[in-house]
Chain A
């Protein structure tokens, strides 16, 4: 029964070098019904975990050690173009946001938002992600 439930959950990979942000994001996506399949503390680990855990959604911090989020995004999407990538950053320029969106990121969340706002942003977009994942897996 538990395995069947897991099969229907959206699989999420969190790539974030700050542990307290990882905890917040994990709590949010778990509350949305997703299953966290991996947590990476740097960009290289994110790319490796994306390849091994095959997540549907990746929440990627921009400023990470070893490999920044933008480069990690490109490598992850090279491995699986269907991954829904959501970038996270403390603060950035519109140009940086535009670049990530051009590289395939689906959305961009500022970590400077309060946790409630981050929850609201993810909750509002989540049904669309779930529908996309279901559609892809059903096809």
Chain B
């Protein structure tokens, strides 16, 4: 495989096939079509389990929220 051609797809990580003997080297980038609906569904699904992206609440934030609700209910 030539140095200019990566071994795996830079978008999906899939292994690329060796070019056929004598085939011209591709010099233009490959335009990949993404299924945006599928990606949105995956992102939505993973969001529910990705604890890392959630912002944790502090007791002070809770205190303010409780106080605000209490004032509203009066």
A residues in contact (CB < 8 Å) with B: 91-94, 96-98, 101, 106-110, 113, 117, 121
> Could you tell me the distance in whole angstroms from the C-beta of B29 to the nearest C-beta in chain A?
40
Give the secondary structure class of A's interface: mixed
B residues in contact (CB < 8 Å) with A: 54-59, 61-62, 65-66, 69
Complex Cα distance, B57 from A113, in Å, reads: 12
> Could you tell me the distance in whole angstroms from the C-beta of B50 to the nearest C-beta in chain A?
12
Q: Which 10 A-B pairs have the closest CB atoms?
A: A94-B57, A108-B62, A93-B54, A91-B56, A110-B59, A97-B57, A97-B62, A107-B66, A92-B57, A101-B69
User: CB < 8 Å: which of B54, B62, B65, B66 contacts A110?
Assistant: B62
Set of chain B residues within 8 Å of A94, measured between Cβ atoms: 55, 57, 61, 65
Complex Cα distance, B63 from A121, in Å, reads: 10
